[in-house]
Amino acid sequence: MTGSASRFIQEFAILAPPFLLALTMHELAHGYVAYRYGDPTAQQAGRLTLNPLKHLDLLGTLLFFIIHVGWAKPVPVNQSYFKRPERDMLWVALAGPVMNILLAIVSALLLKLFALTTEVLPIFVLQPFMLMLAASVWINIMLAIFNLLPIPPLDGGRILTGLLPPQLAHHVRRIEPFGFILFILLFYSGVVPKFIMPLISFAHALLTD
């Protein structure tokens, strides 16, 4: 086995568990909050589950391991079940990023706790878990900030439409069919990385320092 192949396998083994957990909990949070507001669509589709295979998007998963930016298969939501669609959808959209922020905080706390036990347990036993926890902090911060970008159909776009007056919200929703193309253009032009990387680095330092 070549050195590069060995490094890829090691990186995959460290990144895969926290990435799968982050995506699964993100989408589960969306589906659960929608369910609590009266929408059974995610439950009927079998998406209220901790099984990551139900949430994975093939392209989003592959790109994460190539360029470290990825996504899951969106949980289906039917706003017609909501009593107040705009307000309820805002909370459904916010649930995913909030879940990732909570996972980042818990991962950072566990990482610090593990660091205190290095004199009790051998470092070779703790190291894989500490690397996964460190990756989990970064992955969850990245997913939270990435999804809070105010571009439909990202969560931030749905949050924005829930906050705007109805007429302005209508204009923002019209962008949604082109939102993914817009995001790709902004990402590869350097606008998105230039905007979110300082936020990710700041949040990461805040949790881990």
For the question of residue 27 being annotated catalytic, the response is: yes
Q: HSE of 152 in the Cβ direction (CA atoms, 13 Å)?
A: 16
26 Cβ partners below 8 Å, 6+ apart? 72, 96, 97, 99, 100, 143, 147
Number of other CB atoms surrounding residue 6 within 10 Å: 10
State the Cα–Cα distance between residues 137 and 125, nearest whole angstrom.
20
DSSP label of 69: -
Q: What's the DSSP call for residue 149?
A: S
Burial of 9 (0-12, 13-18, 19+ CB in 10 A): exposed
Run of H or E including 171: helix 166-173
Of the residues 11, 27, 86, 119, only one is catalytic, namely 27
Catalytic residues: 27
